[in-house]
Amino acid sequence: MKIAVPVTNINQIDNHFGHCEFYEVFTISETKDITNIETIKSVQGCGCKSNIASILAEQGVTVMLAGGIGGGAINVLNNSGINVVRGCSGDATEIVKQYIKGNISDSGESCLLHENHHASDSDHVCNH
């Protein structure tokens, strides 16, 4: 199994999927151990409009552990065979370990102001 996480440059889960600096891709063994971590520099543009979903899917990613993420990005990832778990925060490696143990579940909350963000240059806060 491969799990992707949008991260900052200090291995923290980025609060906004579409604006992250990097994605870390964790390879998980059958014994539920992390066997490899690969860092992918984020492509330019918002996550829902970039080709990151196809890049991650081609690498075998089936799960995205994210903080705030809009509905458009969720749809694109889901259509690429990637299940999205929202509301994650903190150290990326620790969150992946907790997910593997079954301690992390989807918050059910999307970034509700995502469309307004594209309409203006103002910052926004995601509801998660």
Which residues, 6 or more positions from 30, have their beta carbon under 8 angstroms from its beta carbon?
A: none
pLDDT of residue 110: 60
Domain membership of residue 34 as a residue range: 2-119
> Which pTM does this prediction carry?
0.82
The Cα diameter of the chain in Å comes to 47
In degrees, to the nearest 5, what angle opens at C-alpha 50 toward C-alphas 45 and 55?
A: 135
In a domain, 127, yes or no: no
What's the CA gap between 57 and 81, in Å, rounded? Answer: 7
For the stretch 74-121, pLDDT in tens is 999 999 999 999 999 999 999 999 999 999 988 776 654 444 444 333
Q: Is the pLDDT confidence value at 122 over 50? A: no
Q: Is 96 inside any structural domain?
A: yes
Nearest residue to 69 (alpha-carbon basis) of 20, 8, 111: 111
CA distance 38 to 26: 7
Residue 65 lies in a domain: yes
Domain containing residue 15: CATH number? 3.30.420.130
Domain-embedded: residue 125:
no
Mean model confidence pLDDT for the chain: 83
Identify which has the larger pLDDT, 80 or 43.
Answer: 80
Q: Is 112 a domain residue? A: yes
Q: Is 128 inside a domain boundary?
A: no
Residue 73 lies in a domain: yes
Give a yes or no: residue 89 inside a domain: yes
For residue 12, what pLDDT is reported?
94
Q: How many separate domains does the chain show?
A: 1
Phi, psi of 42 (to 5 degrees): -65, 140
Residue 61 tokens read as: 């990613």
Residue 107: predicted pLDDT: 76
As a whole number, mean pLDDT of residues 44-51 equals 60
